[in-house]
């Protein structure tokens, strides 16, 4: 039988190992989503498990089914037995970003004017609208996604997501790890041992599975003896059945999503598009030549379907295709993952797993992901752009400060930029310099992904003496800051007409960018530095 007519093997023993890795990545993300919303913001748990999880799981199911079919088709076309499917799952940085910067704030804002449950429903609808906007944007960008990497330097793209790694996946997760130090440190040690030091565990056991299992056993074992820092609450063994039914609820949340959260959502969508391009190239180098547009369209459409059905996490192809190939994965592991997660969202066992897995045991997994994407931000950019990457990381640190500030004085500090005097009166604080610093942190956190991309790009252009491009980037910052797309003075971070808000700060921040753009352009025009004139126009 010739290679052209035989049926290649699409399932192997390695698919079992790969399945546990990919499945747990998705379950961990869902557990983090529920932990932030239920544990952090007090979201009603049934809304998370019966309205958000089924749609999110459906997106994972559909995307993995398509990627499985792509792998089988490629194997048949090439006659190879070693074709590995592209892994797909929920995107970790945007899952955390949407939870912390969209769903949580929308819930808090709505609770001020309506009962808690109605506020949670409205926040969910705002999240749906955000997901639909991201999905539509990704569908359009899948046809031109390759051009994004040419427009924005890698320092801006990777630095912005590296900031999420340092701040949201790094610093915040340390709080979870050390909340139960014994549990968190043991789980973290296993992750570092297997995934950072790359030392194989016995029987080639999946590191994520081992770390989460050991951490969970420690957590509940120590809790049974009263040896944990905080009392252990075992969730009820209940699994809530819910179908991922399409709904027009996103139309209700659309005006709020466009007005207040679009500047956050679209950059996360851009990052998964760029990531999809990168991982497709990575798969090609590993021997599996998938069509980039097919990969991007699949993640875009599965994100869109998830949003319409109530999902809260966009789907994306994962970076680890070569790792899953090394495990021996073929097409079976994506099929198994899609079915397990998709059915789990319907029958409720994924929600039960998410509630059962303790956050100190999950946090080390996210911490490792933060290390990986931050390392990529520095490692995949030219050495001369290290400063640009670091600058792009800084706005994410302001987000951590903002999250902490929002939890004190009943959120009164969130108005520090808009109305410092009223903030001092509401909180009883008497140090105007502190209120001023709080206001600056809140404005830096608003639209932080866009800010990070533009800051990183501007510094990269300056480093390469492409001064005209740098000045145009700063001009873009000036326009966005004037209308609140970045550096919004509003507590919720919404956009506005600058003359319609009772603050002069939008004019000041915009003028600052304009001044720096003018200086940069002036230097480029006059050519006062050696070699700048040609390089500023893009001529090498």
Tens of pLDDT, residue by residue over 477-524, are 999 999 988 999 988 777 889 999 999 999 999 999 999 999 998 887
Residue 435 lies in a domain: yes
**Among residues 369, 392, 427, which one ends one of the domains?**
369
Mean pLDDT of 318-328: 74
Residue 284 lies in a domain: yes
Question: E strands along 463-506, which residues?
Answer: none
Considering the domain architecture, whether residues 351 and 405 belong to the same structural domain is answered as: no
Q: What is the pTM of this model?
A: 0.79
Considering the domain architecture, whether residues 263 and 139 belong to the same structural domain is answered as: yes
Domain count for the chain, please give it: 2
Residue 228 lies in a domain: no
Tens of pLDDT, residue by residue over 97-127, are 889 888 988 998 898 889 999 999 999 999 9
Question: E strands along 295-447, which residues?
Answer: 315-317
pLDDT at 540 exceeding the cut of 50:
no
**Among residues 341, 369, 397, which one ends one of the domains?**
369
153 close to 387: Cβ distance less than 8 angstroms:
no
User: In terms of DSSP bridges, do strands 88-90 and 315-317 run parallel, antiparallel, or are they unpaired?
Assistant: antiparallel
CB atoms under 10 Å from CB of 420, counted, come to 16
Mean pLDDT of 61-90: 93
Cα dihedral 500, 506, 507, 508, rounded to 10, equals: 150
pLDDT at 531 exceeding the cut of 70:
no
297: nearest Cα among 63, 55, 60: 63
Residue 148 lies in a domain: yes
- CA atoms of 468 and 493, how far apart (whole Å): 30
Considering the domain architecture, whether residues 142 and 27 belong to the same structural domain is answered as: yes
126 close to 312: Cβ distance less than 8 angstroms:
no
- Provide the token pair at 106: 């929308």
Residue 259 lies in a domain: yes
Contact residues for 223 (Cβ-Cβ < 8 A; gap 6+): 231, 232
pLDDT at 533 exceeding the cut of 50:
no
Considering the domain architecture, whether residues 435 and 307 belong to the same structural domain is answered as: no
204: nearest Cα among 194, 189, 218: 194
Considering the domain architecture, whether residues 308 and 415 belong to the same structural domain is answered as: no
Considering the domain architecture, whether residues 426 and 519 belong to the same structural domain is answered as: yes
Q: Tokens 């046809």 label which residue?
A: 143
- Count how many residues are written for the chain: 540
- CA atoms of 162 and 291, how far apart (whole Å): 27
**For the residues of 508-519, what is the DSSP string, one character each?**
HHHHHHHHHHHH
Tens of pLDDT, residue by residue over 137-191, are 999 888 776 566 567 787 887 788 788 888 888 888 899 899 999 999 999 999 9
pLDDT at 468 exceeding the cut of 70:
yes
Residue 254 lies in a domain: yes
Residue 238 lies in a domain: no
362 close to 217: Cβ distance less than 8 angstroms:
no
The H or E element spanning position 295 is: helix 292-308
335: nearest Cα among 19, 7, 9: 19
How high is the pLDDT of residue 146?
A: 58
Tens of pLDDT, residue by residue over 383-416, are 999 999 999 999 999 988 988 888 888 888 989 9
Of 22-26, 149-153, 442-446, 493-497, the range with the highest mean pLDDT is 442-446
Q: Collapse the DSSP code of 109 into the 3-class scheme (helix H, G, I; strand E, B; otherwise coil) and give the result.
A: helix
Mean pLDDT of 359-370: 85
373: nearest Cα among 391, 389, 387: 389
Considering the domain architecture, whether residues 30 and 113 belong to the same structural domain is answered as: yes
Q: Tokens 């790792």 label which residue?
A: 323
Its domain, for residue 405, covers 384-536
Distance of CA 228 to the CA centre of its chain: 31
Considering the domain architecture, whether residues 127 and 259 belong to the same structural domain is answered as: yes
Considering the domain architecture, whether residues 425 and 478 belong to the same structural domain is answered as: yes
How high is the pLDDT of residue 114?
A: 92
Considering the domain architecture, whether residues 116 and 48 belong to the same structural domain is answered as: yes
Separation of first and last alpha carbons in the chain:
55
435 close to 429: Cβ distance less than 8 angstroms:
yes
Considering the domain architecture, whether residues 363 and 397 belong to the same structural domain is answered as: no
Q: Tokens 């790694």 label which residue?
A: 165
Considering the domain architecture, whether residues 423 and 483 belong to the same structural domain is answered as: yes
419: nearest Cα among 396, 398, 438: 438
Residue 201 lies in a domain: no
How high is the pLDDT of residue 311?
A: 95
- CA atoms of 272 and 138, how far apart (whole Å): 9
488 close to 495: Cβ distance less than 8 angstroms:
yes
| C-alpha distance from residue 161 to each of 24, 92, 389, 404, 444 (Å) | 22, 11, 10, 20, 16
Provide, rounded to the nearest whole percent, the portion of the chain with pLDDT above 70. Answer: 94
How high is the pLDDT of residue 6?
A: 57
Please indicate whether residue 532 or residue 472 has the higher confidence score (pLDDT): 472
CB atoms under 10 Å from CB of 519, counted, come to 13
- Provide the token pair at 267: 């950059």
**Among residues 339, 369, 399, which one ends one of the domains?**
369
């Amino acid at each position: 039988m010739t290679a052209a007519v035989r049926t290649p093997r699409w399932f192997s023993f390695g698919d079992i190992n790969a399945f546990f890795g990919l499945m747990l990545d998705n379950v961990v993300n869902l557990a983090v989503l529920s932990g932030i919303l239920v544990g952090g913001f007090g979201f009603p748990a049934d809304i998370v498990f019966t309205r958000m999880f089924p749609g999110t799981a459906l997106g994972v199911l559909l995307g993995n089914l398509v990627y499985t079919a792509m792998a089988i088709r490629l194997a048949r076309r090439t006659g190879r037995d070693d074709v590995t499917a592209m892994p797909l799952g929920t995107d970790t940085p945007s899952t955390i970003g949407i939870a912390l910067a969209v769903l949580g704030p929308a819930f808090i804002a709505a609770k001020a004017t309506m009962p808690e449950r109605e506020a949670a429903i409205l926040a969910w609808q705002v999240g749906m609208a955000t997901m639909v906007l991201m999905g539509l944007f990704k569908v359009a960008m899948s046809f031109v996604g390759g051009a994004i990497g040419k427009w924005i330097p890698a320092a801006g793209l990777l630095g912005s997501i590296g900031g999420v790694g340092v701040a949201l996946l790094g610093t915040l997760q340390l709080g979870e790890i050390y909340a139960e130090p014994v549990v968190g440190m043991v789980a973290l040690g296993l992750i570092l041992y297997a995934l950072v030091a790359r030392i194989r565990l016995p029987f080639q056991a999946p590191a994520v599975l081992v770390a989460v299992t050991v951490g969970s056993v420690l957590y509940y074992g120590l809790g049974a003896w009263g040896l944990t820092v905080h009392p252990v609450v075992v969730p009820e063994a209940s699994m809530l059945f819910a179908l991922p039914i399409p709904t027009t609820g996103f139309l209700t949340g659309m005006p709020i999503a466009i007005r207040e959260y679009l500047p956050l959502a679209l950059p996360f969508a851009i990052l998964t598009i760029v990531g999809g391009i990168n991982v497709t190239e990575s798969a090609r180098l590993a021997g599996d030549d998938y069509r980039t547009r097919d990969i991007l369209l699949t993640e875009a459409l599965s994100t869109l379907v998830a949003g319409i059905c109530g999902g809260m996490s966009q789907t994306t192809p994962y970076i680890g295709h070569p790792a899953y190939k090394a495990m021996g994965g073929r097409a079976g592991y994506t099929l198994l993952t899609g079915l397990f997660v998709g059915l789990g969202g319907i029958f409720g066992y994924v929600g039960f797993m998410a509630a059962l897995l303790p956050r100190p045991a999950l946090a080390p997994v996210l911490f490792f992901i933060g290390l990986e994407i931050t390392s990529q931000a520095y490692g995949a950019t030219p050495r001369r752009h290290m400063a640009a990457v670091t600058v792009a990381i800084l706005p994410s640190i302001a987000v951590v400060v903002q999250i902490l500030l929002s939890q004190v004085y009943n959120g009164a500090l969130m108005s520090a930029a808009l109305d410092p005097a009223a903030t001092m009166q509401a909180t009883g604080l008497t140090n105007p310099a502190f209120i001023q610093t709080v206001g600056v942190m809140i404005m830096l956190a608003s639209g932080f992904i866009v800010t990070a991309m533009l800051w990183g790009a501007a510094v990269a252009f300056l480093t390469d003496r492409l001064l005209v491009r740098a000045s145009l980037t700063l001009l873009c910052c000036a326009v966005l800051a004037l209308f609140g797309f970045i550096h919004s003075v509003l507590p919720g971070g919404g956009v506005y007409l600058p003359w319609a808000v009772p603050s002069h700060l939008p004019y000041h921040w915009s003028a600052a960018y304009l001044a720096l753009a003018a200086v940069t352009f002036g230097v480029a025009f006059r050519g006062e530095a050696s070699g700048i004139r040609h390089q500023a126009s893009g001529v090498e």
